[in-house]
């Protein structure tokens, strides 16, 4: 096939990139080689627009075993235990084919974790959809949720929570970000770096089909009105085969058979072989006639670019090959030697006794294009919203409007579709600030939280980047956990547009500042660009998945109030920042103004103070104050427990709406015993931490003194009613 401009562009390559390909090869590529370059040079695999900025992020400290650059990040949690975790996007596939797109997103992130030698123990997700009134939303939401649950439930890993959000900017580009967490022995971590010459390259797992061809390239391009035609690029998952593959790999990992191992994810056999060889500074030679195929007459092009699921590439110790083969055959999985490592530093592909491709490994990896994209500083909103007319709405009406809105309503109808307790180590499910998974047979647990900040980031990308890190930090602390490290999934529009690139650069800077100050390193992650259709972009949406350690199972916190007569206090000052608040958005459809400022000193001091009080058994429940402000957080605590609250009117702020609905950062609500009040006040004063009692727990009435009175069941019913409305609309 003669390669022309149309073919080049259809592979997602620019003409100047094609010229560089010819320079690397010192000749014209054939169509197979062009496809391989297309797969490895796309945004999804090469990070060609983001790499220079991602290098700014802090990735190391004394607990980080493995940072970015491997299949997943690894942190030390003591006792030779390690947590392996990562979050990744599957946005484009999920929009085109919601069930399989979401399902294979879960399957892919699970493989990233167990490839490192970890047994997966939990799944989380962050999913964003367009307006509920959009005719596509119900179908997309239903398909994505079913895909997440269908895969996770079948493979037997609990999906313990996450977040589901709605915004018009996702009408034509939904976001499906999946996170997996695994437990490993810190001395038995497995890596993808190839070692040794003439070592067997072994294909294991499921057979290769024609599904998912050019999936990575599709994920690196804008959508248009013909997006539905890209369905063949979406992979098809099989969770039952994934379970077999997981068990076979973990069994093989018990001895020293594996030299290196790599999941066949985006770009399939191409990326897995190239990445292994590149890290090991070696060449790799494959015989494509030996690749197990489930369809007849597959071409080398199809085999190399297929993204069929549930497959791995392993380099084995020569003496262990037969033993390894027996393990995979026992689990009814393919085990085929398809090649070897070489000293050529080339990717060499043979088919039907002919050499069909030969490419320098360095051209596909280190020499891939790296762009210093032009970017412009964001024009952040400086104008504060004038609120004199906003006092006209009653506080209780504003509260109920927020609680019944799509973004704040009860999402149990979603999370109940996920098996949250399989494996029997789930201590705390979705519905609070963090999920909690105990470390089996030990007196410690990990807290997990996933958070995003699209609205704040749209208004001010740098502040939004800082905010989402800090909210994750607060959510972990509210569960009684010491925050350890994060993984990130950065979802943006077209990086070739200076405005979009500017949002990305500034957001990364904000994440960097917060992570450095909080000693909260980024150990893994993903960038998803080109989330736009017909040049209409999503809101900039950084998603943070955080891990924290609870070293005593008796110290786990939740948001449920415990006993009538206890006090509720707020830690952290309230200034009444109402701009960009849920109060304005849900009650007045106002989206203007700057986001609340982030004071990192206060974030750190307040968080560590709360953690200290938890360790001293002085806090009975805790909840961070975030979207919706103090009153929404108080309502969530009441709904969770069924107990009421007598809330005091603010003493200093004259505008009650600002006080109750303002979204000032760095704040926590804590339930305490009256007997401990003095002790807590003294402790916090020593550490210069603001503390104020604002409510008292009571039986079943939720009220603000001389303002309104509601029954907790009314709050509960209000918080649950949106799903029925959504069904009626759609």
Residues forming the active site: 44, 90
Interatomic CA distance for residues 635 and 327, integer angstroms: 54
**HEC profile of 537-590:** ECCCEEEEEEEEEECCHHHCCCCCCCCCCCEEEEECCCCCCCCCCHHHHHHHCC
> H/E element holding 87?
strand 81-89
Q: Are 633 and 478 in contact (CB under 8 A)?
A: no
8 Å CB contact between 449 and 433: yes
Of 109, 609, 48, 643, nearest to 373 by C-alpha is 48
SS3 category, 411: coil
Handedness of CA 69, 74, 76, 80 (dihedral sign): negative
Residue carrying the six token digits 């400022």? 597
Q: From the centroid of its chain, how far is CA 4?
A: 39
**Could you tell me how many residues make up the chain?**
730
Dihedral sign (CA 552, 555, 558, 562): positive
Q: Which residues pair with 68 in a beta bridge?
A: 70
3-class SS of residue 440: coil
The rounded distance, in Å, linking the Cα atoms of 630 and 395 is 12
- The angle that helices 268-280 and 31-41 make with each other, rounded to 10 degrees, is 70
CA distance linking residue 544 with residue 468, whole number of Å: 7
Which residue(s) pair with 336 in the sheet? 203
CB of 157 closer than 8 Å to CB of 125: no
Any long-range contacts for 712-717 (C-beta under 8 Å, 24+ apart)? 712/638, 712/639, 712/642, 712/643, 712/644, 715/400, 715/403, 715/635, 715/638, 715/639, 716/639, 716/642
Characterize the bridge pairing of strands 701-704 and 644-647. parallel
The kind and range of the H/E element at 484 are: strand 482-491
Instruction: Give 293-334 as a DSSP string.
Output: BSSTT--HHHHHH---SSEEEEEE-GGGHHHHHHHHHHTT-E
**Beta strands in 140-238, from DSSP E residues, in sequence order:** 159-166, 175-185, 200-205
Give the H or E element holding residue 720.
helix 712-720
Distance (Å, whole) CA 211 – CA 271: 16
SS3 content of the chain, % helix, strand, coil (to 5): 40, 25, 35
The two structure tokens encoding residue 462: 């740098």
For residue 29, give Cα distances in angstroms to 345, 366, 426.
18, 19, 52
Residue from 187, 181, 167, 196 nearest 541 by CA: 167
């Amino acid at each position: 096939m003669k390669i022309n401009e149309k073919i080049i562009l259809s592979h997602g390559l620019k003409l100047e990139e094609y010229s560089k390909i010819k320079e690397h090869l010192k000749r014209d590529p054939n169509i197979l080689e062009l496809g391989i370059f297309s797969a490895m040079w796309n945004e999804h695999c090469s990070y060609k627009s983001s790499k220079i900025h991602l290098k700014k992020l802090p990735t190391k400290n004394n607990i980080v075993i493995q940072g970015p650059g491997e299949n997943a990040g690894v942190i030390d949690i003591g006792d030779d235990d390690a947590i392996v975790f990562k979050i990744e996007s599957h946005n484009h596939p999920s929009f085109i084919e919601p069930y399989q797109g979401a399902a294979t997103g879960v399957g892919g992130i699970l493989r990233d974790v167990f490839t490192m030698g970890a047994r997966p123990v939990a799944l989380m997700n962050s999913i964003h959809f367009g307006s509920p009134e959009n005719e596509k939303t119900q179908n997309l939401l239903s398909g994505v949720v079913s895909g997440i649950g269908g895969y996770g439930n079948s493979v037997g890993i609990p999906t313990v929570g996450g977040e589901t959000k709605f915004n018009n900017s996702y009408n034509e580009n939904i976001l499906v970000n999946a996170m997996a967490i695994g437990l490993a022995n810190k001395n038995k971590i497995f890596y993808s770096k190839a070692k040794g010459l003439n070592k067997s390259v072994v294909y294991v797992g499921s057979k290769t089909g024609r599904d998912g061809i050019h999936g990575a390239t599709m994920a690196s391009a804008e959508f248009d009105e013909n997006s539905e035609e890209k369905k063949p690029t979406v992979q098809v998952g099989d969770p039952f085969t994934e379970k077999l593959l997981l068990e076979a790999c973990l069994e093989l990992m018990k001895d020293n058979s594996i030299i290196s191992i790599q999941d066949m994810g985006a770009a399939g056999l191409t990326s897995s072989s190239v990445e292994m060889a590149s890290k090991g500074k070696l060449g790799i030679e494959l015989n494509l006639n030996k690749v197990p195929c489930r369809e007849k007459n597959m071409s080398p092009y199809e085999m190399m670019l297929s993204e069929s699921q549930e497959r791995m590439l392993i380099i084995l110790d020569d003496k262990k090959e037969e033993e390894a083969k027996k393990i995979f055959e026992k689990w009814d999985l393919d085990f085929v030697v398809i090649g070897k490592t070489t000293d050529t530093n080339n990717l060499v592909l043979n088919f039907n006794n002919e050499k069909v491709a030969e490419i320098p490994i360095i051209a596909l990896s280190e020499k891939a294009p790296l762009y210093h994209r032009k970017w412009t500083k964001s024009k952040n909103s400086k104008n504060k919203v004038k609120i004199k007319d906003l006092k006209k709405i009653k506080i209780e009406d504003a509260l109920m409007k927020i609680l019944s809105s799509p973004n704040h309503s009860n999402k149990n109808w979603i999370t109940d579709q996920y098996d949250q307790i399989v494996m029997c180590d789930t201590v705390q499910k979705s519905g609070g600030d963090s999920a909690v998974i105990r470390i089996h047979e030990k007196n410690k647990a990990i807290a997990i939280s996933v958070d995003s900040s699209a609205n704040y980031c749209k208004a001010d990308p740098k502040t939004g980047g800082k905010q989402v890190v800090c909210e994750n930090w607060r959510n972990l602390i509210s569960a009684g956990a010491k925050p350890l490290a994060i993984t990130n999934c950065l979802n943006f529009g077209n990086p070739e547009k200076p405005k979009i690139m500017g949002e990305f650069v500034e957001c990364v800077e904000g994440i960097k500042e917060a992570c450095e100050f909080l000693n909260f390193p980024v150990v893994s992650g993903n960038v998803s660009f080109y989330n736009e259709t017909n040049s209409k972009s999503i809101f900039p949406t950084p998603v943070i998945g955080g891990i924290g350690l609870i070293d005593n199972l008796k110290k786990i916190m939740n948001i449920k109030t415990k006993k009538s007569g206890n006090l509720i206090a707020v830690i952290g000052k309230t200034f009444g920042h109402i701009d960009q608040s849920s109060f304005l958005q849900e009650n007045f459809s106002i989206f203007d103004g700057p986001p609340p400022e982030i004071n990192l000193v206060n974030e750190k001091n307040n968080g560590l103070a709360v953690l200290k009080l938890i360790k001293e058994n002085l806090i009975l429940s805790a909840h961070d104050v975030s979207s919706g402000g103090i009153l929404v957080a108080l309502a969530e605590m009441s709904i969770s427990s069924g107990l009421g609250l007598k809330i005091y009117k603010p003493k200093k702020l004259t505008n009650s709406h600002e006080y109750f609905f303002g979204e000032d950062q760095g704040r926590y609500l804590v339930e305490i015993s009256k007997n401990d009040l003095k002790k807590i006040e003294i402790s916090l004063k020593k550490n210069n931490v603001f503390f104020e009692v604002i409510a008292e727990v009571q039986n079943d009435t939720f009220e603000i003194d001389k303002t309104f009175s509601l029954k907790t069941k009314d709050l509960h019913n209000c918080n649950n009613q949106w799903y029925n409305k959504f069904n009626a609309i759609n």
